[in-house]
């Protein structure tokens, strides 16, 4: 019996590059990015949840990719180049003027939200001469919409900061977060659904997973037990359960893929 090959983590497949947002976009966007998939067979990739929503541009046009609770497995054409703008956690709802819970786990054509403006941006990106110009067009188009976007509410910013810096109790994370942020449990849930797409407990799990991924990239030679503890997991078994549920991969497979990706990046930088 042949054992199925596990999916590849998206950012370890093909060529993935990020560029920091600048100017007024920096307060709203985590980064602009492009991902060039390899030619040949269509890759089986896993896009793991990161708490963010993105606007992407592909050969099919512009779309909003909502926040995911668990890994997504998009069907992408070999050789496709995807351009993206990744919102900071909690920032996308003001741009889309719709609660983020309506996009959770979904990819929606941008013209359903922005009408002909999306079509105009799509046309301009299609006429760009190369990837660098296309990213510049994308950034310029988004900058042109800044005047229509409200800033992220302060209580949303505070909540994200709290979840990044503190680890809610395992027994009742919702009550603990509500108490420390001064919100009622009902207000907290409503705020989270509108600006994150899901509740604070789910976002906390995703942020913990992202801490583990970052540790795997930065310290690929460390033992899994140490990486699990530093990311905030109770023990290695807790990490294993969460990794399987959120990514479909084992922690060891995640570490193997990210360690290989880090080695390849070092070789590329040395060669250049």
Residue 1 falls inside a structural domain: no
- Is residue 2, in this structure, part of any structural domain at all? no
Q: Is residue 3 part of a domain?
A: no
Does the pLDDT value for residue 33 go beyond 90?
yes
Q: Which domain holds residue 127?
A: 8-148
Are 242 and 124 part of one and the same domain?
no
What pLDDT, in 10s, does the model give residues 70-79?
999 998 888 9
Helix (H, G, I), strand (E, B) or coil at 17: strand
Rounded to whole angstroms, the Cα distance separating 206 from 227 reads 16
Q: Give pLDDT tens digits for 65-106.
A: 999 999 999 988 889 999 999 999 999 999 999 999 999 999
Domain termination residue (choose one: 103, 133, 148): 148
Check: pTM over 0.95? Answer yes or no: no
**Quick check: is 32 in a domain?**
yes
Residue 70 in domain = yes
| Domain end marker among 105, 131, 148 | 148
Gap between the Cα atoms of 80 and 64, Å rounded: 17
**Is residue 189 domain-shared with residue 121, that is, in the same domain?**
no
Find the helix packing angle between 236-247 and 224-231, rounded to 10°.
80
* CA–CA dist 173, 208 (Å, integer): 13
> How many domains is the chain partitioned into structurally?
2
């Amino acid at each position: 019996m042949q054992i199925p090959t596990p999916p590849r983590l998206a950012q370890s497949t093909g060529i993935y590059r990020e560029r920091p947002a600048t100017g007024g976009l920096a307060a709203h966007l985590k980064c602009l990015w492009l991902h060039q998939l390899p030619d040949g067979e269509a890759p089986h990739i896993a896009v793991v949840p990161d708490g963010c929503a993105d606007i992407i541009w592909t050969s099919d046009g512009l779309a909003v990719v909502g926040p995911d609770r668990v890994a997504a497995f998009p069907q992408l054409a070999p050789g496709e180049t995807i351009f993206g703008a990744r919102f900071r956690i909690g920032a996308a709802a003001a741009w889309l003027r719709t609660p983020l819970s309506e996009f959770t786990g979904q990819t929606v054509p941008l013209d359903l939200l922005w009408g002909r403006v999306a079509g105009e941006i799509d046309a301009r990106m299609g006429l760009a001469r190369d990837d660098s110009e296309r990213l510049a067009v994308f950034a310029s188009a988004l900058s042109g919409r800044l005047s229509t976007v409200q800033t992220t509410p302060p209580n949303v910013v505070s909540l994200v900061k709290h979840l990044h810096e503190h680890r809610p109790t395992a027994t009742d994370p919702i009550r603990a977060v509500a108490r420390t942020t001064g919100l009622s449990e009902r207000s907290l849930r409503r705020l989270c659904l509108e600006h994150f797409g899901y509740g604070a407990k789910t976002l906390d799990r995703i942020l913990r997973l992202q801490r583990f991924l970052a540790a795997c990239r930065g310290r690929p030679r460390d033992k899994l037990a140490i990486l699990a503890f530093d990311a905030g997991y109770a023990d290695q078994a807790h990490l294993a359960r969460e990794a399987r549920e959120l990514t479909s991969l084992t922690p060891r497979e995640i570490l193997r893929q990210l360690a290989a990706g880090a080695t390849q990046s070092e070789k590329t930088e040395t060669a250049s």
